[in-house]
Amino acid sequence: MNTQEMIGLCKQYTMYTWAKGEAVSPLPIETAEGVYLYTPDGERILDFNSQLMSVNIGHGHPRVIEAMKRQIDELIYVFPGSATPVRARVGKLLSEIVPDPINRFFFTLGGAEANENAIRAARLYTGRSKILSRYRSYHGGTNLCMQLTGDPRRWANEPGTPGIIRVLDPRPYDYSFGESDEEKTRNNLVYLEEVIQYEGPETIAAMIIETVTGTNGILAPPEGYLRGLRELLDRHGILLICDEVMCGFGRTGKMFAFEHGGIVPDILTMAKGLTSSYIPLGCMGLCDKIAAHFDSNVFWGGLTYNSHALALATAEAVIEVLREEKLVENAARLEEVMRREMDRLTEKHPSVKEGRCIGLFGMIDIQKNSSGEASAPYNGSSPAMAALAKAFRDNHLFTFVRWSSFMCNPPLCITEEELLEGFAIIDRCLDVTDRAFEG
Ligand SMILES: Cc1ncc(COP(=O)(O)O)c(C=O)c1O
């Protein structure tokens, strides 16, 4: 089958996500290794987004593939009511790498199901029903997760389930006027407490946040926000759920992003980096007090593929690679290189408004004029951003271009040299948006 036939069949017989079928132009990929993808025609493409911000250890790691093969020979699947050696090992392993008091885990197929079960656990534990979430967020494609989601993917899925209250993030969408971290934290928490008061604190089960907002901006919380939020929610008996589906497993330079803020949530959700997407797996982690509640109360949730043996063996091998190859430390070390490159590009290219990163989790915003106006509107595109996306593709760099920004999220195994190679390509491509800059 040649490349065009392959693309034609994929488009004819399979549906693509979040898109009109006729508008889709799929990237043909045959193999992948480390930080590179290879097309059937032998083109090598640098993966600057870890696919869906998820292949944290890089592509095709032999040790993980070996572990998956071993598990296939031993045991692939048994029903969720079983005890298996791999389930025993991975439960214990997660309790070691996730900070206390989170020590009990429920396995799902992906991030959305982890969030669905986190909301279920919070509601059953507190006996309350409302959930707070933030506008700049994505929490998954199921009905409930679409309602938790603030970004425009929610709109076509409304009206959904009642009882979800969305609030603003600490960082305003148009951040040009600037506020100190301290002001952002204070202003947002004062506002949030007022929302809680109007909604009735005793009606709110939990607040769910992406600890570091991913797709909607790569926004690390301002200084003091996580501690302040934790304290505010505690005061009202509201649980904190950290969705670390994207920002967990080393992406931010720590194993979990909440570790930057000196807090631990009541419930943690994980997926993507948990298996580096080698196979689907998600997970909800519960703190001891909630876990104890479900020792004497039914947890009304279940899945055919809960605790799937092959998926768990994959997670075990991926976590071993992350730890032994010190990939979390690599992400922390290369943050400085990424930031330096972003500063250099901001200095050099008038169309670059700002670059920001935490670990190897980064984004660059593009402006169309010197007053900082975005090159493309919220939920829209522009000829300049479309041309930038084409330039990345023509220059053998894979990343996501979204609205007026683009992602810089390479696999955590990237070397400094490969990272610089990526930024050299970006540097060349930014001439496209500079040409559209209106001054
Ligand atoms: C922060 C966050 N939460 C949840 C999800 C949903 O995960 P999944 O697509 O595995 O259901 C995603 C997916 O991108 C995500 O980024």
Query: pLDDT tens digit string along 244-299?
Result: 999 999 999 999 999 999 999 999 999 999 999 999 999 999 999 999 999 999 99
Query: What pLDDT sits at residue 366?
Result: 98
**To 10 degrees, the CA torsion angle through 178, 180, 181, 183?**
-100
Query: What pLDDT sits at residue 191?
Result: 98
Q: How far is the CA of 140 from the centre of ligand 1 (A)?
A: 5
Write the residue with the smallest CA distance to atom 7 of ligand 1: 111
Is 243 touching ligand 1 by the criterion CB < 6 Å? yes
Query: What pLDDT sits at residue 173?
Result: 86
Mean pLDDT of the chain: 97
Mutate to test the pocket of ligand 1, among 143, 272, 361 (most ligand atoms within 8 A of CB): 272
End residue of a domain, out of 309, 324, 339: 324
Query: pLDDT tens digit string along 358-375?
Result: 999 999 999 999 999 999
Query: What pLDDT sits at residue 178?
Result: 75
- Same-domain status, 79 and 19: no
- Tell me the C-alpha distance between 132 and 111, whole Å: 18
- Same-domain status, 50 and 113: no
- Same-domain status, 255 and 154: yes
Which atom of ligand 1 is nearest to 112's Cα?
11
Q: How far is the CA of 74 from the centre of ligand 1 (A)?
A: 30
- Same-domain status, 231 and 161: yes
Q: How far is the CA of 372 from the centre of ligand 1 (A)?
A: 30
Write the residue with the smallest CA distance to atom 3 of ligand 1: 139
- Same-domain status, 257 and 337: no
Q: What is the pTM of this model?
A: 0.98
Is 138 touching ligand 1 by the criterion CB < 6 Å? yes
Residue 25 sits in a domain of what CATH number?
Answer: 3.90.1150.10
Is 140 touching ligand 1 by the criterion CB < 6 Å? yes
Query: What pLDDT sits at residue 174?
Result: 80
Residue 169 sits in a domain of what CATH number?
Answer: 3.40.640.10
Which atom of ligand 1 is nearest to 109's Cα?
10
- Same-domain status, 366 and 221: no
> 381 is written with which tokens?
């595109």
Amino acid of residue 412: L
Q: How far is the CA of 436 from the centre of ligand 1 (A)?
A: 34
Amino acid of residue 64: V
- Same-domain status, 136 and 256: yes
What does the pLDDT average to over 347-353?
Answer: 98
Other CB atoms within 10 Å distance of the CB of residue 399: 23
- Same-domain status, 149 and 187: yes
Query: What pLDDT sits at residue 389?
Result: 98
End residue of a domain, out of 305, 324, 343: 324
Query: What pLDDT sits at residue 97?
Result: 98
**To 10 degrees, the CA torsion angle through 310, 316, 320, 322?**
90
Q: Tell me which residue range forms the domain holding 182.
A: 62-324
- Tell me the C-alpha distance between 278 and 281, whole Å: 9
Mutate to test the pocket of ligand 1, among 116, 138, 276 (most ligand atoms within 8 A of CB): 138
- Same-domain status, 101 and 180: yes
- Same-domain status, 291 and 340: no
Which atom of ligand 1 is nearest to 110's Cα?
10
Write the DSSP string, 142-160: SHHHHHH--SGGGGGG-S-
End residue of a domain, out of 276, 304, 324: 324
Number of domains in the chain: 2
Query: String of b and e for 195-204 (b: at least 16 CB within 10 Å)?
Result: ebeeeebeeb
302 Cα distance to chain centroid: 24
Q: How far is the CA of 213 from the centre of ligand 1 (A)?
A: 11
- Same-domain status, 42 and 85: no
What does the pLDDT average to over 46-53?
Answer: 98
Query: What pLDDT sits at residue 303?
Result: 98
Query: pLDDT tens digit string along 156-212?
Result: 999 988 999 999 999 988 877 778 999 999 999 999 999 999 999 999 999 999 999
Is 110 touching ligand 1 by the criterion CB < 6 Å? yes
Query: What pLDDT sits at residue 104?
Result: 98
22 Cα distance to chain centroid: 27
- Same-domain status, 312 and 344: no
Query: pLDDT tens digit string along 66-107?
Result: 999 999 999 999 999 999 999 999 999 999 999 999 999 999
Amino acid of residue 300: W
Query: What pLDDT sits at residue 255?
Result: 98
Is 222 touching ligand 1 by the criterion CB < 6 Å? no
